[in-house]
Structure 1
Amino acid sequence: MATAGQAVTEVLVKHGVDRVYALAGESFLGVLDALRQESRIDVVTVHHEGSGGFMAVGDARLTGNLGVLMVSRGPGATNASIALHTAKDDAVPMCLIVGQVGRKFLRRDGFQEIDYANVFGDIAKWVVEISDPSRTRELLARAIQVAYSGTPGPVVVVLPEDMQADDAGQSPMPPAYRRPYSAPDAGALDEIAAMLAKAERPLFIAGGELATDAGRAALLHCAQAWGIPATVTFRRHDLFPNADPLFAGDLGLQTTQEQIAAFQESDLIIAVGTRLGDLSTQGYTFPDNPKPRQPFVHVYGDAAVIGRHFVPDIGMVCDAAQFLGQLAVRADAGAASRNRPWAQRLRALRTAVTAWKPKRADDGIVFGNVVAALGPRLAKDAIVVLDAGMAAAQAYRYIEWTPAQRLLAPITGSMGFGISAAIAAALRYPGREVILIAGDGGFLMSCAELALVNERRLPIRFIVANNQSYGVIRLHQEDWYGPLDHIGTDLSTPDFAMLARAFGLGAETVAAEEDVGAALDRLMGADGAALVEIKTSLYAQLPPR
């Protein structure tokens, strides 16, 4: 007989899951015992449920495949909620498997009992509690289907502890989910090609659905075939080669008013693979809401997204990469050069704000100098993980991302994401260089996972910007209220190098600008995991006093 716990592992294997992140609890021992007998799944034991969830999200972001986290009931599940929120905003498929109180205690306010449908109903795409072991295969497979379908996102599967060892019966194994795609409409493509032939200032807005090798290649090919400048949405800088003359920059928190004004002059906007959220659209002001002033095309794989915030002249529900591939072949011979002056103008605006000029400050190292020095030292296929905060903001603007490099940063801005996502990246791609850039606040939120870095011998390079402040919030305080007394943003920090060495990492601290280059060279050449703490300036990033 196969137990319900074994049925869980069968379904996961069927759907290509080869790694799960877990923090053990007595409420899902039946599943853990089944995993003990399943050699095809690597069980990564984490030190906090939120960190484990970030690992699952990071893995899903890099691969497009289901990220899985297993936790115990009550506190374990609520600790994991930050990762569910991140998976939702990042639009990645994730499954949270939660142990639950025994069936006879359900709805009786038992020890650590939670009604997960009520708790996670606004975050997860679906919450299902499986009380009948014979339906385990059916309902878990359906949950995975929901996680992948439409706009991908998180699902929650709840398993009462006393059913996991019960006989799952002979219920058939559902086939692995395959995402259906409708083909791009030929008539609509011809209409868009005709619009492009007349346009003098077309613009691409490219989003997360293109975050695959095929999507990036299709975007570049189509942009070059038609000579269309390309912008990328919030924290999606790695979708397009930043050095390409057609790269017009990103749409996010640091986009300048001059850039937005120029983008508004476009006479055709084609938004591909993006949900057009508030940060990318500058608070739903670009394009004009609800009806853009220029002809507007929106292509996305989920019909519910098309027209939600911006009414398109043409909306297409299809695979974004296929759309771009079929649009590219419709380009006429002179298309690539027709829009060159427009592309050059947008490129110049981007260059004006991304060219770093070395600076000095009295209260520490200017972190922009560190980022500027790091960029040329990155491997051609490096995976750069960014936590939330001031340190990440410098990397978005001043690293020029190349085609094979990958940027892994939470769209939702969750602090503490960095260490966990770096672990997921290093586990998934053991031959690639993985670098984490984090501020002191974000690093402290998940630094217990350095134990896992040591356990798995993961050669991650950590750069910690220590300005002893929740810097972004301090920036907002001074921006909104002026340089008066502040509260709640000063941060007490440890000796990060000493902390890292306690976990078995190589580490050093840098406090002088002239030592940055050599320290980065040692970091990038380290044998095994290593950390460099940068004593950074806070005031260099605050409003002028």
Structure 2
Amino acid sequence: MNQHSNQVRNGGQLIVDRLRANGVDRVFTVPGESFLPVLDALHDAQDIQLVVCRQEGGATMMAEAHAKLSGRPGVCFVTRGPGSANALAGLHVAAQDSTPLLVFVGQVPSDFQQREAWQEVDVAALFGPVAKWALDAQHAERLPEHLNRAFATAQAGRKGPVVMGLPENLLYENVETAAAPTAVNAAQSHPAARDVEDLERRLAAARRPLAIFGGSGWSAEARDTLTHFVEARGIPVITGFRRQDRFDNTHPLYAGDAGLGMNPALAELIQGADLILAVGTRLGDITTRHYQLLSVPRPRQQVIHVHPQPEELGHVYQTDLAICAGVEAFAAALSPHTDRLPDDERRAWMERASQVHRGWVRPTESPGPVQLARIVRWLGQRLPPEAVISNGAGNYTLWVHRFYPFRALGSALAPTSGSMGYGLPAAIAAKLDNPSRPAVCFAGDGCFLMTCQELATAAQYGANVIVIAVNNGSYGSIRMHQERQYPGRRYGTDLVNPDLISLARAFGAEAERVTKTGDFEAVFERALSAQCPFLIELPLDPGILKP
């Protein structure tokens, strides 16, 4: 007999039943009285961990990072009005990063809606432009239908966020269930056989092909298959903006990442290619250096674009071959095609691409006693491949993405949306996902202070993350642009910060300040062995704006 056959379940229980059926094992929240039946149902769901956060933006960012690591939709519950508005920051990350995310908003009762009741929010109006689907549920008996659609929508095609408003009265209403819930099978697109044949012909004729790996929906198996494929054909690989873990950065075919502060030699390599194989990635403005490396709308290079969303193919660039497929399906179609060897001409192209990367990652020297490039490079040698490196936004990320060698899938958590404050919530999610794996958050002082309150969440749940706070007393990225546009007129970008060491300790973390490069290693070893979160502050001269 089915567990829930002919049983009566309230709205909160119906929701939790379907979370469990779809493999959800962790839910993030800032609790609200608007969804108490959900919290009560989670009380009895011993196989789902509830993580209570300190601010809704941090909660949605944790849920988004959890989705990236687990491959399943992240789930977050927030309350109406100000709670849902706070959650929008993490939703925007999920939208631009193509991450499956379900955000449930406790809503005012149905009879109060459209009266501007206390904390009322129009879910569709607020979240519709960002989410793949946003709705206010209106009938408790339709919750199973809506939940199935939510899971399917978040995972189908280009993955993304779904937001569902839950009027408070619906969660208390009882519904008779007819069958136990089952997992949703989201539709996935697959490449046609003729497309694979066309791909083979174009690659065989190309003299200087270049692959760009990025986007979401990657698995370790797909990554391995695609690695074997490019090895067999001698195709150098670059990774899209903040997607460095899509390809082993120590591999001889790796040519670098197409991100902020792009290697000029890499830009030349992209422009000199005669064929671009873009897998999973959107060809956005950062990866194409503001649409300059590939001409709009018709690039000089041949473009083969593989993406799961048909509307993304041809969205900016006219392609020579558009393949509507997810990364896993595309890799599976290529698995019989990994047994060839590149010719001598292709080998010369491979070596050129490899030299581009090797020269770029040699640590640079900056004024002052703290050499951030050397510290980041040392971390790449000290940490295991599976260690997770997270960051938010700011100039400090230029050092992280240039000098740290990302080797394993899932080792990079960084927002392509450029959201400040993301690094700490993401590192917490990573540590909760696998406590034995080091989780290191890089953050600028401005970035860290956006979500520093989540250190309390880390301490509460034993997520012993390491935060490396690069403190230059300014919004450095904005200052860099300001000084370029208005030399000598710096204004509005300087910060007066609290004592970060005392602040971290107040949250239950250990903390130390490193003022010389040579002292970093010993402090980091103490951080690795600490039984609580650990913050390492690196004071940096505010005049140092890039490597």
Instruction: Give yes or no for TM over 0.5.
Output: yes
Displacement over 6 Å in runs of 4+: none
Residue identity in the other structure for 2:203: L
**Percent of paired sites with the same residue:** 37
Look up the SS of the partner of 1:297 in the other structure: strand
Check whether the contact 2:361–2:403 (CA below 8 A) recurs between aligned residues.
Answer: yes
Match of 1:511 in 2: 515
SS of residue paired to 1:128: strand
Superposed, 1:105-504 pairs within 5 Å as 105-170=112-177, 175-209=182-216, 211-327=218-334, 329-330=336-337, 333-335=340-342, 337-361=344-368, 365-403=370-408, 406-482=411-487, 484-504=488-508
Pairwise CA distance, 1:76: 0.6
Native 8 Å contact 2:78 2:105 kept in 1: yes
Question: Partners in 1 of 2:335 and 2:301 — Cα distance?
Answer: 21
- Aligned pairs for 1:23-62 within 5 A: 23-62=30-69
What is the aligned partner in structure 1 of residue 3 from structure 2? none
Contact 1:94–1:147 at 8 Å: present in 2 too? Answer: yes
Q: Secondary structure at the match of 2:169?
A: coil
Q: CA deviation at 1:166?
A: 0.7
TM-score, structure 1 normalization? 0.95
How far 1:35 sits from its partner (Å)? Answer: 1.5
Q: CA deviation at 1:259?
A: 2.3
TM-score, reference length from structure 2: 0.94
Q: CA deviation at 1:112?
A: 0.8
Are positions 1:534 and 2:534 aligned together?
no
- Taking a change above 3 Å as real, the CA distance of residues 160 and 182 of structure 1, as seen in their structure-2 partners, is closer
Residues 141 and 174, structure 1, Cα contact 8 Å, conserved in 2: no
Q: In 1, Cα distance between the equivalents of 2:510 and 2:389?
A: 19
Shift of 1:173: 5.5
CA shift digits 1:151-183 (9 cap, x unpaired)? 111111111112211112335566422233344
Alpha carbons of structure 1 residues 527 and 44: separation in structure 2 relative to 1, 3 Å: closer
8 Å CA contact retained: 1:463, 1:531: yes
1:330-369: CA deviation from partner (whole Å, max 9, x where unpaired): 36744265411111112222223221133332xx624223
The 1-side partners of 2:268 and 2:454 are apart by: 44
- DSSP-derived class of the 1:335 partner: coil
Contact 2:28 2:59 in 1 (8 A): yes
Structure 2, unaligned runs of 5 or more: 1-7
- Contact kept, 8 Å, 1:193 with 1:327, in 2: the verdict is no
Question: How far apart, in 1, do the equivalents of 2:495 and 2:180 lie?
Answer: 52
In the TM superposition, residue 404 of structure 1 has moved relative to its aligned partner by 5.7
Superposed CA deviations along residues 196-241 of structure 1, whole A, max 9, x for unmatched, are 2222111111112363212321221111011100111000111111
Distance (Å, rounded) in 2 between the aligned partners of 1:123 and 1:74:
17
Tell me which moved more, 200-209 or 257-266: 257-266
1:509 maps to a residue whose letter is R
Q: 1:18 aligns with which of 25, 29, 35?
A: 25
Aligned position for 1:80: 87
1:385–1:409: 8 Å Cα contact kept in structure 2?
A: yes
Contact 1:356 1:368 in 2 (8 A): yes
Residues 463-472 or 171-180, more deviating: 171-180
- For the 8 Å contact 1:86–1:412, the answer to whether it is kept is yes
- In 2: Cα distance, 1:84 partner to 1:49 partner: 10
Mean Cα deviation higher: 87-96 or 238-247: 238-247
- Partner of 2:457, secondary structure, is helix
Counterparts in 2 of 1:314 and 1:542: CA distance versus 1, 3 Å:
closer
Letter in 2 for 1:390: N
Deviations along 1:383-404, one digit per CA (max 9) or x if unpaired, are: 1111211222211001122236
Cα–Cα, structure 1 residues 108 and 382, in superposed 2: closer, same or farther, change >3 Å? same
Q: Which shifted more, 346-355 or 487-496?
A: 346-355
Report the CA distance between 1:500 and its aligned residue: 1.6
Partner amino acid for 1:201?
A: R
* Cα distance in structure 2, aligned partners of 1:474 and 1:445: 18
**Distance in 2 between residues matched to 1:440 and 1:114, nearest whole Å:** 33
Deviates more, 1:237-246 or 1:256-265: 256-265
Task: Please give the secondary structure, in 2, of the residue aligned with 1:163.
Answer: helix
